[in-house]
A and B are shown apart, each in its own frame.
Chain A
Amino acid sequence: MALLQIEEITKEFGGLKALHAVSLHLDEGEIVSLIGPNGAGKTTLFNCITGTTPPDRGSVRFNGEEIVGRPPHEVARRGISRTFQHIRVFGQMSVLENVMVGWDFRGRTGIFTALLRPPRVGREEAENRKRCLEVLSLFGERLLPRLNQPARELSYANRRRLEIARALVSGPRLILLDEPTAGMNPHETQQVVDLIRMICERGHSVLVIEHKMKVVMTVSDRIVVLDHGEKIAEGPPAAIAADPTVIEAYMGGRRRAQAD
């Protein structure tokens, strides 16, 4: 059984069909890339999966359970976490606190326990911290030396890393990355590629939206191509690179074909 099974999802904004009967699946341990020109509906699909903007029709089953209609925090609790195309870190909070929020729903401390502070509150905080440091250490020396710095002071690339760390800390089964390499230089991009592989090896499945072809081709097990809200192709990287409809829609049509 597929970990994520999306069937016939349709989403309209007014008269605009952002997604039209899109189906796709993702198996446990897979890295699937979602590509397509701007406005193809990639981020809309992410929003439909996570419940941010529920689809008009269609179903999304995660681990066999229907998740359409559930609010985003419940989807996250079931094991899908995500990052955003436009970075959304908690600017005034420190790097460590940002990541600790990712562990929030695993916590048990409520208002009364917070006031009375039985020993388990301290243990929970320590456990949370330990998990966060462990996840932050995946990024080498990028984030660990900046634990107490407010997130808004971080560089662009580091804020992206922080978002990924926040999404990873609760141990999701599936992580959705929305353009993780946007605004990064080639060296940093390569690090993200390694990171995505590492995330996969740690047992998280990955669905990634990406524009940089080099990244897509090296990292994905499978590629899904969207154009104008419809799925136009799906397959392993080599097949996608050779697919004429994809080249037509995405890679620049005739000119590219002539250049080859």
Chain B
Amino acid sequence: MSLEAQVNIVNDEDVIAARQAGRTLAAETGFSAREQAMLVAVITELALNILHHAQGGEVLIHPSEDAGRRGIVVIARDRGPGIPNIKDAVEASYCVAEGLGLGLRGVKALVDSLDILSVPGKGTTVTARKWQS
């Protein structure tokens, strides 16, 4: 499986393109309809984060395999201001969406692992992994 997708996120059209790419890859990886919907929601929230908190960025999606498990990795990279306090972003109410359990907090609840690397002034890279159940 060499398929992967890279979508620049500048407006909502791009969010739709990233969702479409993610849905296709998830279906090819063998994700159930439910798992596909979850992965697409993850991609949407990560892409919306780029739209709302940075002046642009990109979403990369690729299949992954580990010890016989198949999954999808989503990497969201932006050139925004960085997240002042990563713990806050995931655990407390960093913004309206986070307070509602959406955003990174919601993403964390839907995936198997979530890594956030944020450099103040340089941007943020979020890596989310979801395995097929």
A and B form one complex: no
